Amino acid sequence: MATINNKFRAYLYQRDSFGNKYTSGRLLIDAGSQNFPGAAVLTVGGARRGGSGYINYLSRESLPTDLVLRAYPDVVPLQSLESVHVDAAVVGPGSPNLSQLPECRRLIIDGGALALITEPAPTDAIWILTPHEGEIKKMGFDPGDRQSCALNAARAFNAIVLLKGRASIVATPAGITFIDQVAGSELSTAGTGDVLAGLIGSMIASHRPDSLESGAEILAHGVEIFSAAAQSALKRRIPLVATDLIEEIPTLLAQEGTSL
């Protein structure tokens, strides 16, 4: 076992002593639906532990909105996106009823929103696509060779791609930047991807990367935190479920000299 002296905490945005909730990043979450209301709670739950100081939830339907606000009263609902500036947005977990992607420079595109991608990201945009193998196959890519698949999708859409699954891969148009060697089949359970999308979105909103390369580095760090939290949770919880991760991530980040 290796002692890490908590490198993970350093991956979060280091807040200024004189900063405020806005200087730590503002994140928009568009997640959940009447059919998958829990996805909204899981995505917001992951986001609350990624460093963003202000989280907005786009209130499309009553059930997911009620669940989110009951669980997390610190989250601020929005009725529309008019005249709202956010540092990043997470769209798609739990198949919200959206017909187009929001105008936001930094987008984490997950779940149902992946079907809306028909052309490359704008030149100055930082898109992070988070498909699992079934989703990337629907997008027209063969996951038989996972590294080639992730790289081809990144180049086709001028975006960062996180191909989830065993040995999750982070790819940019320039090449493969990270392959997760920690997480295993314990994460193959409903809702874990929603937690991950929220965590990533929060880290992107707080760090505010200006390039695909810097965005990919933050994304890789988010996957590292997520996978380490899963391994840590397994010491006390078997089988692992998605809500375990929401509880375990802050515990992991608070530990000193953790052995994994």
Please list the residues that pair with 58 across neighbouring strands. 78
Q: What is the pLDDT of residue 5?
A: 55
For range 36-46, the mean pLDDT = 98
Q: What is the pLDDT of residue 4?
A: 47
63 in helix, strand or coil?
helix
Average of per-residue pLDDT across 88-92? 98
Band of residue 223 on the pLDDT scale cut at 50, 70, 90: very high
More confident residue, 184 or 176: 176
CA distance 90 to 83: 18
Give tens-digit pLDDT for 51-83: 999 999 999 999 999 999 999 999 999 998 887
Q: Is the dihedral of CA 63, 52, 130, 79 positive or negative?
A: positive
Sheet holding 175-179, edge to edge: 76-78, 54-58, 26-30, 88-91, 106-109, 126-129, 160-163, 169-172, 175-179
Check: CB of residue 198 under 8 Å from CB of residue 44: yes
Q: Checking DSSP bridges between strand 160-163 and strand 169-172, what pairing results, if any?
A: antiparallel
What is the CATH class of 8-254? alpha beta
Please state, rounded to an integer, the average pLDDT across all residues of the chain: 94
DSSP state of 47: H
pLDDT cut 70: percent of the chain above it = 96
Q: Supply 28's token pair.
A: 């928009």
Residue 252: what pLDDT? 94
Q: Is the pLDDT of residue 260 over 70?
A: no
Mean pLDDT value of segment 213-231? 97
The length of the chain is: 260
d(CA 151, CA 141): 10
pLDDT tens per residue, range 136-162:
999 999 999 999 999 999 999 999 999
Extents of the domains making up the chain:
8-254
Q: How far is CA 66 from the centre of its chain?
A: 22
Confidence of residue 42 (pLDDT cuts 50, 70, 90): very high
Tokens of 166: 């065993």
Write out the two tokens for 117: 């991608």
- Predicted confidence (pLDDT) per residue in 110-128, tens digit: 999 999 999 999 999 999 9
Q: Give me the pLDDT at residue 253, please.
A: 93
In Å, how far are 53, 75, 200, 207 from 26, measured between CA atoms? 6, 11, 13, 10
- Percent of the chain, pLDDT > 90? 87
